[in-house]
Amino acid sequence: MEADAAGALGGRVFGAYRLESALGAGGMGEVFLARNASGERVALKVLLPEASKNDGLVAMFMDEASIMAQIHHPNVLAVHDFGRVDGRYFLAMELLEGQSLAYLITEAHAKEGRLDRGVIATIGAHAARGLHAAHTARSKNGEPLEVVHRDVSPQNVFVTYRGSTKLIDFGVARAAERLAWTSKGIYKGKAAYMAPEQVARNAPDALSDVWALGVCLWEAITGGRLFLRDNQFHTMDAVMKAPIEAPSAVAGLPPDPLDEIVLRALERDPARRYPSAQGLDEALTGYAKATGRAEVAALMGRLFPDAPLPAPRPSEDRELGSFAGRTEDLDRPLRRSSAIHAAVGTLASELAPPGARAATEHKDASRIERPLFRERTTVILIAFFVALAATLAALALVDREAVEVRPLSAEP
């Protein structure tokens, strides 16, 4: 079915875009390499016809477009356009050429034995910078958007071959202006990166994202998984109770000041963490400067000398590295947040009444649809829907693809 869906639009004009090739398809939509009217290449995410008829899914799609379009920062994936063509909703985004941090961790530890701590600090600082931009973003009326990413993970931190870092995938982000809503007891995000307060069913905030980035840093240093266990219940239990050792000690490296930075981000008491993502950024930037310039681009060149040829990637049931891919990094972001926000508002008014939308969202909030990317071209989209949801009472996996099930050591 995915092959048929991917071929349905490939090779034709879609609104203002000319579709060049299909990059991937999943249960909710498909992704294309396309060119806009100016000839610039973009990643075009298009909901499938069935999904476009589901008010709950459409509301989540609109939320992602609206949120990302109002965050203007070089360390956050840029959204160019949003709209609807022939009844199908689409989202046009910049293309990024590089790899996810997940795949970078896998390759660095496999090929060089470890990932340089200066490089980790630099990547982490840039990701924290993007998070701070999201946390402090304001609407066109100057009101705080109160954005919380809620899905910070190595899969959603993207490193370009030029050495820059981009925060991607705000598909499950919480914001004040969301159209979709999350029912009480429904979890959004990956369990192994949830902060303790999220596991305890408290509302996540900016410091929850700081925790999640701390987990990413710990895993980048050690090459292993911090909280992942054999099932979701044990993973959440580990988040709440498992000892958190200094990452350098786990990696067999000498003690390092970076350990203190990471461990502070991983304080279970939010009041003991860095007060903001900016605070974490400053600490990591200070460490990187003290240890010398980290050549992220040089590392990418060593690890991926054949870029932009497609690199092998683990199968979908292997979380770390599962979103590795490459797309083109455009340095000319086309910011149209006001137009996108207006388009979202116009289209939102056409949705079903709030009661009907809420009922639909409640039904679909417990599902995650993960695209099964096919490496058919040198360009692979990284930013697509990733949302984990499960009821704590049932403690059951509602979608097997949504939960990490293998440690990094299991990666090839």
CA end-to-end distance (rounded Å), the chain: 29
Q: In angstroms, rounded to a whole number, what is the distance separating the alpha carbons of residues 116 and 296?
A: 9
DSSP E strands: which ranges in 94-187?
A: 98-100, 157-160, 165-167
Catalytic residue (one of 55, 63, 81, 151) = 151
Q: Is 317 a catalytic residue?
A: no
Q: How far apart are CA 316 and CA 374, in angstroms?
A: 11
Longest dimension (CA), the chain: 59
Helix/strand number for the chain, H first, E second: 14, 10
Distance CA 198, CA 206 (A): 12
Quick one: which of 216, 205, 221 has its CA closest to 265?
216
SS3 readout for 227-262: CCCCCHHHHHHHHHHCCCCCHHHHHCCCCCHHHHHH
Pairing outcome for strands 372-373 and 17-25: antiparallel
Catalytic residues: 151
